[in-house]
Structure formats: structure tokens, C-alpha cells
Structure 1
Amino acid sequence: MPHIDFASITQGVPQCPVCGNTDREPSTAPAGTISPYTRTIAEMVELEPEELLRRFPLWVCKSCTAAWHDPWFTTDFAETFYGYVCGQHFYGWAGLANWLKRKPVTFVATRSAIWQLLRDNIPGSLTYAELNCPNAGLMFAEADSRGGDEIRKVGLERLRELTRVYAKTSIFDRPSAAASAMRAREVNAQSAGFLVERTLLTEDSPYCWRRSCVQAGVGCHAYAQDFLFDRMLTLKRAEETGRRFDLVGSFVTLDHMPDPISLLKRLLTVGKRVILEVHGPGWTDLQHFYAFGNGFADQLTQLGATYRDLTAVSRAHGVPGPTNGSRFFILSTEDDLSWVPGTAAG
């Protein structure tokens, strides 16, 4: 493998990527596990993984308590590395596989618990959108509520068929992909269920898996479109057309964006309510440039939003197994969220 110079793919980042503050201190959080991302980059720059992590020290912002790496990758390298070199979101694909197999895991159960909270406390149906990753949010729980076994059967058939079409056969069999889409749409009526007019919003970022997130030749967006979601729409287009949703979900996505607070403001513009999943403080592996700190809730208040912490709700699902340390919030500038039981409003 050709050697890549470490200095050529990194740059200094003296400012907190969340709030812009430069007043900081070294993090005392323990180093994270060695992930496939770290191993890949270590091989590229010919360093041991532990030494590579030492070259990306973690700093804590004294203003908002976010933690970030300085130095970090250049934008050009990040777009290449996260865009397609390591462009597969293992978390989302594993979630899809476990759901299709009806395997009881905490990843799926946490979302089901949040979906149930919404269903129990909001009458009628909600127009719904989710940002970027189609396999990380509420769609599995929604599908279960509309006939999970039959929808899983279609989902497994769709995955097998798209894998065959895109990974193992020639372009002449691509009409099969169209037939698969039609069968998927038959079980995915736009107006059926609790979460309706299901829209996958997209927003590019150099730190996030994008259209190259594939498994066995099948892209996650291609798989989800027509099956879990009714349509795809860029966030920018939703803003330009004045599109509004009763609920917008952002699961393990916000902290992969270069300007997260500005993005959160935009989500609050297109959504009456926003549900967030963010990684816990101290996340230090090279999969993430930064992590929100314990002061993140204060930033939600500064946006003029009412919020509730749903972390305890997400974990009250009865499925054994470790959590990944994520925190869940619901926030709104229009809804006072007084219907959310058992949590204090922020």
C-alpha cells in the first residue's frame, strides 16, 4: 500500500466545532476502542492504531463541554474517507439485519420504546421525516405496528432481490429492481399507520456516510426508498418549498455534521417536533470528530426550544444487553411537550 503522510491529511482545529469557543482543556476520558476506522487509517499512514489515536488528542470546550479532536482530518480527506472508503454505517445495517431476523436487541428496542411513547400520547397520525440514515430511527417500530411479519417478509425478499440485481447480475435484470419496488409499495401505503407521508431527508456532510453506504452492492437509501420511506427529499428542498412535518427524527446523525447547532435550527424549521439521538460524552474514536458534552441540554434551551430528555424512556424496553451510551431528546418551539410523562421540561 502506498504510504500517506499523516501531516498531509490533517489540520489544526483550535475552535470548538459545536460553539466556536477556543477556551479548552485536555480531556481525561479514556481512549475508545480500536475501530475499523482507526485500523484503516493506521495502515494508510503506517502507524500502530494506539499511536495514531495519541496523535489525535481530545479537548473539552470550557463553554459548551463538547469534546473534539485537534488536529483532525482535512475536509478533502474526510469526504473521501467517510464518504466511501469507510462509507458503510455498520450501526444501521446491523439494526436492519436484527430487525429482519426478529432478534431482540437494544438498538431496535430503544426505538420501539420511543415510538410507543409517541403513539400512547399523541392522537391521530403524524407526518414524519428522518434525516440521512434510514435504518437508525423509528421506521422498524412503525413497520411492526402495520403488520411486522408480512413487512419483514417483503423486506427480506427485497434485500435478496436487490443484492442479486446489483451485486451478481448484469444490467439486463434491472427490471427486477422495479418489480421489487412495486411489491414494497404495496405494503407501504403513505396514509397508513401512525407515522405517515414518511420522508427521508438528506443533508451532505464530510463526516457522514452518504450515498456510498452499501451492503453487498445495495445502497441503504435505495433499499429504504419505496419500502421504509415513501420518498426522499433534500433538507434544502424541504426548506425552499416550505415543507413541514409533525415530527422529524435525527438518530446518530447530528454529531456527524460540521455545524450541528445551525442544522438543529433548520430541523426545527421543518419539524414541529424533533427527536434526537446523540452519542454520549467522551466518545473518542476516529469515527467521530466531536461529541456533545453534558452542557448540550443548555444549548437546546438557548435555541428557544422546550425539550424533554427521553433517555430513560428509550431504555425502559425490557430487552437485556448493553446500551451504547446514546442520549435521546425531544424538542419543539411550538409544542410545550407537557404530554411527555415522567420527565422535567427544559
Structure 2
Amino acid sequence: MGVAQAADPVLNLYSARHYPTDEALYSQFTQATGIKINRVDADDAGILARLKAEGSASPADVILLVDASRLWRAEIDGLFQPVKSKVLEDAIPANLRAKVADNGGTPWFGLSTRARVVVYDPATVSAADVDSYEKLADPKLKGKLCIRSGSHPYNLSLFGAMTEHLGPAKTEVWLKGLVDNMARSPKGGDTDQIKGVASGECGVAVTNSYYLARLMRSTKPEDQAVVSKVKVVFPNQSSWGTHVNIAGGAVARHAKNQDNAVKFLEYLVSPSAQKHFADGNNEWPVTKGVQFDNPALQAMSGGSFKRELVPISAVGMNQIKVQQMLDRVGFK
């Protein structure tokens, strides 16, 4: 029985990507390879907890997570197995994948990117006042900043990147400045921050780019009303570039279908899959030269923008240090 099961072309996927548009990706992979995907959906934290609880009995072959700090944490906890793939190494820039492990393999790979952008109310705030992350802590924005919880992985990753750029001491002063400038205590998700700017509750907010793109592409009148009242800035274009986070993938440590797992990750960096990340879920491809048709991404960035080159692995490593800083400055 065990031999027959091992020969079945299956892939057990644990995914934190809860995007309906990904269904097409999975079905295309099955059509192309004959490999059936069995999927378990949960958030990043839920998937990591499940992997730890299952241990060596885990059926998981591939893990998809949506944040650099969680990928780093899973790597440190020994939940991935480093893999060697020339396809993945050639397709994905070095700063968007884990450092090479002792066995010469790579523990995890970035598969798509999302920018941490600034949305502002042009009636009360000028673009020049919010064109860098550092300026968000300027006292002239006092009472105008809306942002989700500092402990959310998207913010932990941004703050981890700022620690690389500024050093811990200056980053902590900057975080205190953000707290001083808040229009209200952190609450809600990124879409709520955008809506807060549109409603006049805030003058400026921080959001992942795909939340704004969703509103831009929505046909709902209330979403279009929100979009009409805000403008977007890609910060730090004149210095180190805008912070980008990743959604990434890895082969599970106890994968039973390793070849299928690597084949799936390689499929996700193919031109068709990378185009799907852009057009289907408003993310930027990690591979160069992929042409996509997403009008919101084109309108938002003018087609391209300068991205920071801080290694995503370094961003992840800073998360514990960042959390301690957040506690000290009272950033909830």
C-alpha cells in the first residue's frame, strides 16, 4: 500500500495564500503535470503551528507563506529542507531568497513581491512630506498617521528593513516618532488604513500595494469613491528604494513527494505563473522581464519603481529586535 501511495502523482500543499485567483494556478499545474494538489489553507501562524505539531508525521510537501519574517522563523525552527534547483536560483534574485544552507541548498524562495507604500490625502498632505519612510515620523504629521499593529508581520518586515538602513538606535527613535504622529491607536488591516485616509480620519497611511490595487480594480462605487480621494507614494525613490516584502515557498522538512514539490516551486517562477501573480493577485513578479496586464499596478507605479535591495533574510532576522523596540516605544 505504501509503495502504491508513494507512486501516486500528488502534492500536499500547506498554503497561507488565501487568494481565490490562485485556484487557476493550481489547476494549470495539475493539467500540465498530472500531479494532483491536496491543499490545506490557514494563515502563516496556523501553518507553522500545525507543522510543529505534526512533526515527522506531517504530510506537507510544499509550504507557501506570505511574509519574510515568517519564512525566516520557519527556517530557524527547522521546518524546511534546503533544496538545490538551478531553475529557482537563476530565476529569483539572491536578495529575495534565503541564504544558502550548509548542504548547498536554499531553504526558501520568494515567489512574488508586494511593496509597502504610503497613501495620503492630497487635500491635507503634500507628496513631498511623505516621500520617504523617515518623514512619517516628522512632527509636522502629528495626529495624521494611520497604520496597523506594529506586531503585524508586514510591519515587522518594514521595520526590520529600516533597522538595516538606519541602525537600531535611529530606528527606535523613528518608531517613537510614528507613535507620536498616530491619528488613532493601530487597528484593522491595510484596507482599513486606506479607507481612514479617504474618510478624513487620517492624513497618511501605510499599506501593502496589493490592497490599494484591489480597490483600484474594484467595480464597487464605494471602492471607487475611496480611490478618488487618495494618492500613493512609493517611498525612498531618491535613496535606497521602496521596501518590498515577499510571498514565498519552501519544501517541507518531512516532504514525502520531494520531486513533485521542487517541480511545483519551479512552475511558480515560470512566465505564465509569474504573470498570474501580477494580473490575478496584484503582486509584482520576482523574475525579470515578465510582461503583465494589470492596469492598477501600471497606474500606481508608472510601470516601475526603485526597490530596496536589503536581503529578505536579514529583514527576518531583525524581527525579535524590532519587537523589543516596539514594546519600548509603546507601538501596539
The TM-score, its normalising length taken from structure 1, stands at 0.30
The TM-score, its normalising length taken from structure 2, stands at 0.30
Higher relative CO (Cα under 8 Å, sequence separation at least 6) belongs to 2
